[in-house]
Chain A
Amino acid sequence: MDRFLNALASGVISGSLYAIMALGLSIIYGVSRVFNFAHGVVALIGGYLTWMFLTRLGLGLFPSMVLALLILFLAGWLLYHATIRGLLRKPNWEFSTVLFLLGLGILLENVLLQVFGPRVKAIPPFVPFDPTTGLGTLRVGPVITTWHDVLLVLVVVAAVLGLNAFLKWSWTGQAMRAVAASIPGALAVGIDIQRVFALTFALAFLTTGFSGVLLGTKYYMTPHVGWEWMVKGFVIVTFGGLGSTTGAIYAAAILGIVEGLVSLYLAPIWVWPIWFGIFLIVLLLRPQGIAGGRL
């Protein structure tokens, strides 16, 4: 029972990280129908830039992160106007954007490799912890965790709530949801589609970069790990329903818990085959995903 509860807790923690990671994919797809195949590397750039500002410039964790996310926000905006905007006009825009972003992702991944080298990097945790001395660890009943993990979950919950509030109540967020619901409808009420698309890319890049920072504090970063994060994100957003943010959060929670339990009762190596099995079943039975809603 104790082991079960601990596995559940670790599932919730990784699930919340997966949720924030998948949100960026979901937002872009929900609004613009572009599937970001450079998603993993965007998350990694967030993590690596933060790491660089932190260790090379000696800034604190928070200023480094803000600076990194600001850069990603601008990068998303620029990328949209410089490339995606033109590609969306083509008749086969769907697959063109996929291949373009895939190529861009590999390009950037190798730039990261050139700049930062292949060695493992990690961002220091919010609260330092050391399981051997019990520093920074926390015991709730039978569950043993760290303050860092608790903070991670809280930060993710706050970020998700903040993002939802933004989408629900802010003018820009409402415009995004309008575009997601119907482009002709949004045009009819005078929404500038190009501006909304560009802001969507910028916002999604920011969110994705943020998730990269969080993943970098919990796991480790190499220039190649982004691909792994991204493919996990793909399964999550498909399971949740492409373009649905709430669906992605539920799916991430479910898959995170599945991961925790599978690691406990079978072996970590079975996590991916079981995820793939779930992915196949969802695609066969309910391609619109568990929520199947829109943004």
Chain B
Amino acid sequence: MKRNLSWREVALVLLGLGVVLYPFLGGRNNPYMLHLFTLFFIWAIVASNWNLLMGYAGISSLGNIGFLAIGGYVSGILSKTFGLSPWVTIPIGGATASVAVTLLLGLPALRLKGIYIALLTLIFADSLPSVLTQTRGVTGGAMGLHDIPPFFPGAQKIHTYYLCLAAFLLIEFILYRVVRSRTGLAFVALRDAEAFATSLGVSFYRERLKVFALSSFLTGIAGGFYVHTLGDISPTTLGIEPFLLAIAMIELGGVGTFFGPILGSAIIVFGNEFLRVADILRLTLLGAIICTIILFFPGGLMQLLDRAEAWVRGRMRRRPEPA
């Protein structure tokens, strides 16, 4: 079947090519930009998975940074203390995050709704720093875990860049397939009309556990990539700033849209770095951004893009054909 490519597909392919080729277009000599791109890949995974829970499944989770921390800590400790290869420890970290989250949050969340899930997940993530302090012999407590080995001995920025890019593309591909599958449809159906969906045979319990397990597994994997890229992790990762950054990414891009959180993470990651000069005003600004978007642009940038496109199309259609 032959059809015309929409401008969005063209833009996507061009952007993708740009990111893949960036190190050869001068990025190789700019380790700072390579680092920012790497951070963007990792945060985009986190934001997309958060959006899977919050946007597609309508589960008001506030604890996804906790998933990231579990995956990161497990992978960091295993590779540092036991000298295992990160290729083994990253999946173990993801699996640990998935099991812990499904048991501690997924199961209770079966009986809870709305605000209760928000409270449960928030307090879960908020308790992790005190767990880390209790286990400071292994986790380093408030000091954090340092000198975590890179992906392979002697890995350079450009290797990390491509590894994180690969993880980003793979996970986004998985999420895209999930969202387009029957499972993704079930998530949305349960969000929008739970009674109707269950009456059609969608299992509330199975789909709920599935979305928690999947989202926390992939976020845990992102946590693994995070620690092996940065080399350290500490309880500040569970602090207010990363949490707000991720929320702002999802809201800015557009909740419940596939590309929204990715776009949002790009803007927030690069914007946040350029705002380093503003120092403590950054958090004020982030809070203001979140408030403004929710009040005035609840659909985020993706909705603005849709509206702009509709407006342009409307203009083009109305214009009379040149004689």
Residues of A whose CB lies within 8 Å of any CB of B are 29, 35, 83, 86-87, 90, 94-96, 98-100, 102-111, 113-114, 227, 231, 234-235, 238, 242, 269, 272-273, 276, 279-280, 283-284, 287
Contact = CB atoms under 8 A, between A and B. Distances in A.
Given A102-B244, A273-B131, A280-B108, 8 more contacts: A99-B290, A100-B291, A103-B288, A103-B289, A110-B280, A238-B119, A273-B130, A283-B111
Contact of A103 (B114, B116, B290, B298): B290
A106 B286 contact: yes
B114 A94 contact: yes
Give the top 5 A-B pairs by smallest Cβ distance, nearest first. A107-B287, A103-B290, A106-B287, A110-B284, A103-B291
A269 B130 contact: yes
Contacts of B114: 94-95
A234 B123 contact: yes
Given A95-B118, A98-B115, A227-B240, A114 B280 contact: yes
Contacts of A279: 120, 123
B111 A96 contact: no
13 contacts: A99-B290, A100-B290, A103-B244, A106-B286, A107-B284, A109-B287, A110-B281, A110-B283, A114-B280, A272-B127, A279-B120, A280-B108, A283-B112
Contacts of A227: 240
A193 to B, nearest CB: 20
B97 to A, nearest CB: 18
Contacts of A98: 60, 62, 115, 118
Contact of A99 (B119, B124, B130, B247): B247
Contacts of A105: 287
B134 A269 contact: yes
B133 interface: yes
B294 interface: yes
Contacts of A103: 244, 247, 286-291, 294
Contacts of A111: 284
B286 A100 contact: no
B271 to A, nearest CB: 16
A235 B298 contact: no
A287 B112 contact: yes
Contacts of B291: 83, 100, 103-104, 107
Interface residues of B, number: 39
A107 B288 contact: yes
B172 interface: no
Nearest to A82: B295
A114 B134 CA distance: 33
A35 B115 contact: yes
Contacts of B283: 106, 109-110
B126 interface: yes
Contacts of A35: 115, 118-119
A99 B116 contact: no
A98 B18 CA distance: 37
A99 B240 CA distance: 13
Contacts of B251: 99
A111 B288 CA distance: 11
A227 B289 CA distance: 20
A231 B294 contact: no
Contacts of A110: 280-281, 283-284, 287
B78 interface: no
Interface string B257-298: 000000000000000000000001101101111110011001
A284 B110 CA distance: 10
B119 A234 contact: yes
Contacts of A90: 298
Given A96-B294, A284-B108, A102 B247 contact: yes
Contacts of A287: 111-112, 116
Nearest to B112: A287
